[in-house]
A and B are shown apart, each in its own frame.
Chain A
Amino acid sequence: MTALVLENVCKSFGEVKVLKDINLTVEDGEFVVFVGPSGCGKSTLLRVIAGLEDATSGIVSIGGDVVNNTPPAKRGIAMVFQSYALYPHLSVKGNMALGLKQEKQPNSVIEERVAKAVQMLDLGAYIDRRPSDLSGGQRQRVAIGRAIVREPKLFLFDEPLSNLDAALRMNTRIEIADLHRKLSASMIYVTHDQTEAMTLADKIVVLRDGRVEQVGSPMELYNNPANQFVAGFLGAPSMNFLKTSVADAPDGITTGIRPEHLTLAKSGPITGNVTHVEQLGGDTNILVKTNKDEMLTVRLFGQHPSQVGEAINLNFAPENAFHFDNNQNRVHL
């Protein structure tokens, strides 16, 4: 059974078309990440799936049922919000139980499911507290717990980690991955952070301007991007795009090389001067201005004693280079 199917989904706000012809399938148990720059429509798409916005045209079906006219609560989904959105007047337990009470589940079921979620998320000590007495990370766990107890066909996460600090973000990321394994539930996760997308997803959907740019597993997208946008969006530091700096490159073709695929060499197709060095301990990022006035980043493993102003030559393996035409589409030379 498929968890979610979108067919030609469009959404406009007045004249503005926010989503254009979205087609997508999410298989059962799949972890799908929507990723894209802000304003690309990823959150709107999630809200259309949740039923918080109506699709202007197209079909949304969840678990095999067309849900275009079904209210959010009856779609078999649960959602975790960026701002947690806990009910301020209810305790942790009350927050988790509210959805089930609305479904008129018997008390024994409510107790059992809440207890299970509390145990899974390690919230036992806070069960009677109000949201205002919890830290950010705890609040996000309660919000996740509120979603788990519903036992939905589809989990929706709307940038759930954006409000957490860096260390907590990494922990919670791992917790979410862990949760996905334990529940083997279908999940859709929206983020603008390509690291979250790469580390969590079974399948990444890259969106831009309300269109799907490419769909695939993280490594497919990394190794085989369909166009310059996807190539530049995934991977950190992002891919270098050089129009003129590479010696004997054909006219009108942009060469894309990932920073980690560039190597220092005695002589090479690219020459330039170091403008900045970032020593990260394990890695060194060197920013270079080529002699054709283009900027690029080199990522070297280990520590390198490069100095600003130093002249360097860079080389790369031809099979690691990508080529794009003037319309930013991938071409194979």
Chain B
Amino acid sequence: MSTARSNRFNTFAAHGALILYTLIALFPVFVIVINSFKTRKAIFREPLAMPNSDSFSLIGYETVLKQGDFFLYFQNSMIVTVGSLFFILLFGAMAAFALAEYRFKGNTLMGLYLALGIMIPIRIGTVAILEMMVQTGLVNTLWALILVYTAQGLPLAVFILSEFMRQVSDDLKNAGRIDGLNEYTIFFRLVLPLVRPAMATVAVFNMIPIWNDLWFPLILAPAEEVKTLTLGSQVFIGQFVTDWNAVLSALSLAILPVMGLYVIFSRQLIRGITSGAVK
């Protein structure tokens, strides 16, 4: 009797806390989006008011789209993010499979070495990375960014994925070996589909920081034709004058693709297909 009541109270409290958190987290986004539809005066007079017939204006979006290169920035950001995620997931999963599946000398040591990257921020090596990129002629190419982000994402990916790979049934892999599948087929056809939820987790963890990063685009690829969206938006922020309409519009637009990617990955979190494989 009392447990029923306290359970309902617990549910209520949990939902309350989550809703509160959601509101706090979404509030800045909400403010950015509503203000991107207002005139400059209205933004400063009443930042929290909804746009009405007086204050409604698309001037910010017009500026952003007239800037011309904005679609290019979008495209660059998209290429860098998707490319980096692809390589992080591919190489991360392969390394994780090797660590989880094969017994070889130095296996544990290798795992620790790969995990070390989680604790050491890659930005410490910025100068060395820049020198390397200059020498290989990769400065001002999207490859420079993709390579750096892949290196940045791999440690955590290997760490998370190898834990999950260990849980994949040995019997399943062995059944594949007895049926004559090679190790690549076992990896791609049997193991990867079973760790898809973990892959989605890794993808979501890596996606947002890559999309939002300003540091490496600024240092490694500041040229006009390879600017990413975050870097591109900086043109509206000046030392003396900032075009707030344009900044807010650019930021609002920048949310959309990353939201699309998130929806794709979160769909993969559904475990449906894996049940019934073993036991």
Q: Which residues of A contact B (CB under 8 A)?
A: 47, 50-52, 71-74, 77-79, 81-89, 98-99, 102-103, 130-134, 136, 139, 146, 158, 163
Cβ–Cβ contact B171 & A82, under 8 A: yes
Cβ–Cβ contact A85 & B175, under 8 A: yes
The one of A74, A85, A130, A146 in contact with B172, judged by C-beta atoms closer than 8 angstroms, is A85
The list of the 3 closest CB pairs from A to B, nearest first, reads A132-B276, A73-B180, A102-B180
Per-residue contact bits, chain B 37-59, to A (CB 8 Å; 1 contact, 0 not): 00000000000000000000000
Cβ–Cβ contact B193 & A85, under 8 A: no
What residue in chain A is nearest B103 (Cβ atoms)?
A13
Q: Taking the complex as formed, is B167 at the interface, i.e. its CB lies under 8 A from any CB of chain A?
A: no
Per-residue contact bits, chain B 238-279, to A (CB 8 Å; 1 contact, 0 not): 000000000000000000000000000000000001111111
Q: For A50, what are the chain B residues with a Cβ–Cβ distance below 8 Å? A: 174, 178
- In the complex, what's the smallest C-beta–C-beta distance from B174 to chain A, in angstroms? 5
Cβ–Cβ contact B171 & A89, under 8 A: no
Cβ–Cβ contact B171 & A72, under 8 A: no
Cβ–Cβ contact A79 & B189, under 8 A: no
- A103 and B179 CA atoms in complex are apart in Å by 8
Cβ–Cβ contact A72 & B279, under 8 A: no
Cβ–Cβ contact B273 & A132, under 8 A: yes
What residue in chain A is nearest B189 (Cβ atoms)?
A89
What residue in chain B is nearest A132 (Cβ atoms)?
B276
Q: Taking the complex as formed, is B108 at the interface, i.e. its CB lies under 8 A from any CB of chain A?
A: no
The one of B169, B174, B179, B189 in contact with A99, judged by C-beta atoms closer than 8 angstroms, is B179
- A89 and B181 CA atoms in complex are apart in Å by 15
Q: Taking the complex as formed, is B190 at the interface, i.e. its CB lies under 8 A from any CB of chain A?
A: yes
Q: Taking the complex as formed, is B95 at the interface, i.e. its CB lies under 8 A from any CB of chain A?
A: no
Query: Quick one: which of B182-241 are within 8 Å of A by CB?
Result: 189-190, 193-194
Contacts known (A73-B179, A99-B180); A87 close to B172, Cβ less than 8 A:
yes
Cβ–Cβ contact A103 & B180, under 8 A: yes
- A263 and B195 CA atoms in complex are apart in Å by 60
Q: For B169, what are the chain A residues with a Cβ–Cβ distance below 8 Å? A: 83, 85
Known: A73-B178, A85-B278, A88-B276. 14 other contacts (CB 8 A): A52-B178, A73-B180, A78-B178, A81-B171, A84-B278, A85-B175, A85-B277, A86-B278, A88-B194, A98-B181, A99-B178, A132-B275, A133-B276, A146-B179
- A52 and B102 CA atoms in complex are apart in Å by 12
Cβ–Cβ contact B175 & A79, under 8 A: yes
What residue in chain A is nearest B277 (Cβ atoms)?
A88
Q: For A131, what are the chain B residues with a Cβ–Cβ distance below 8 Å? A: 276-277
Q: For B180, what are the chain A residues with a Cβ–Cβ distance below 8 Å? A: 73-74, 99, 102-103
What residue in chain B is nearest A134 (Cβ atoms)?
B276
In the complex, which of the residues B174, B178, B180, B189 has the most CB atoms of chain A within 10 Å of its own CB atom? B178
Cβ–Cβ contact A98 & B193, under 8 A: no
- In the complex, what's the smallest C-beta–C-beta distance from B168 to chain A, in angstroms? 11
- In the complex, what's the smallest C-beta–C-beta distance from A263 to chain B, in angstroms? 45
Cβ–Cβ contact B175 & A89, under 8 A: no
Q: For B176, what are the chain A residues with a Cβ–Cβ distance below 8 Å? A: 87
Q: For B279, what are the chain A residues with a Cβ–Cβ distance below 8 Å? A: 83-84, 136, 163
- A143 and B277 CA atoms in complex are apart in Å by 11
- A81 and B181 CA atoms in complex are apart in Å by 17
Cβ–Cβ contact B273 & A88, under 8 A: yes
Cβ–Cβ contact B171 & A85, under 8 A: yes
Cβ–Cβ contact B193 & A102, under 8 A: no
